[in-house]
Structure formats: structure tokens, C-alpha cells
Amino acid sequence: MTIISKRKTHITMAVLFVFLTFLDQLTKKIASMYLIGNDITIIPNILELHYLENKGAAWGLFQNSTWILGGFSLLILGVIFYAYFKLSYEKRFLFLRIIFCMLAAGALGNCIDRFWHHYVVDFIYVSAINFPVFNVADCYVTIAAVLLIYALIFRYKDDFEKED
């Protein structure tokens, strides 16, 4: 069992968290500046940039529920940070810490939009499958969720079997 430095780990993860959140906010700012009324086709019939102010959640659910969705995001952030700090400092859990940073950055990125603008800026549109418009924070959450499922099933499954 290799233990990693708590301080170094927290600094590295904090930098990652801040960077990911900043990148999300930057892309939304750029989308707000250049995409309103100006859709851009990246790959014809597959991928477009299309500005959208989403006042709800995924797939347009819970429209105009800013405070409820923002509060829920803050609750999720609390759960993520709790889980992050409860993790062992064994090196093998670093992957899980990165996943938690991605989840937290995605939650915070959209939470900032909800409280600041009262909507979330979405701008990535996969027209090939007519998927709802989304943003970088949504990508973080989706990728992190897939990685978390993978990690729990394959990478950390022995940890759960030991508890039985």
C-alpha cells in the first residue's frame, strides 16, 4: 500500500478542480459572445455549436427551477467533497479523486450559471443523433459518471467484496 502526500494531493486536485471549472466558464463566455444567433457547423450533419439558455435541467426538465436546481447542485457538491475527503490516501485511490474533481467541476460550473445568470449556457449540439444541446460541464459529469461506474465495477470491486 503506497500512501501519497495529503498536501500534495489536495493541492493537485484543487488546481485540477479550479482549472476545469475555469475552462467550463471560459467556453460558456466565448459561446455567449460569439454564438448568439450564429450557429457554427463543425462537422456537417454531426456536430454543431448552437447557443442555448437552458432554464431547466437535462432534456429541458424542471424549467424555471433555478433555486431548486442550484440547491440540488450544491447538495451534490457537498456529497462529492464528503466522499473525496473520506477516501484513503493510498495511491490507488488517486483515480477516484480525479473522478470526484471532474464531477465537482461539472456541478459547480452549471451551479455558477444557475445562480449568476438564472440559466445554464449550453452550446454543443450533436445533430447526428439530435441529442439535447449541452456544455463542457455536462461533459465532465458524463465522463466522470462513466469512469466512476468503470472504477467501481472493475478497479475497486475487491474493496466492496472485502466488506461483505
**158 catalytically annotated:** no
Neighbours of 21 (CB within 10 A): 22
End-to-end CA distance of the chain: 21
Active-site choice (138, 158, 159, 164): 138
**138 catalytically annotated:** yes
Active-site choice (24, 39, 113, 122): 122
- Strand pairing class (40-43; 47-54): antiparallel
Q: Which SS3 state, helix, strand or coil, does residue 121 take?
A: strand
For 133, left (φ over 0), alpha (ψ -120 to 50), or beta?
A: beta
Residues involved in catalysis: 122, 138
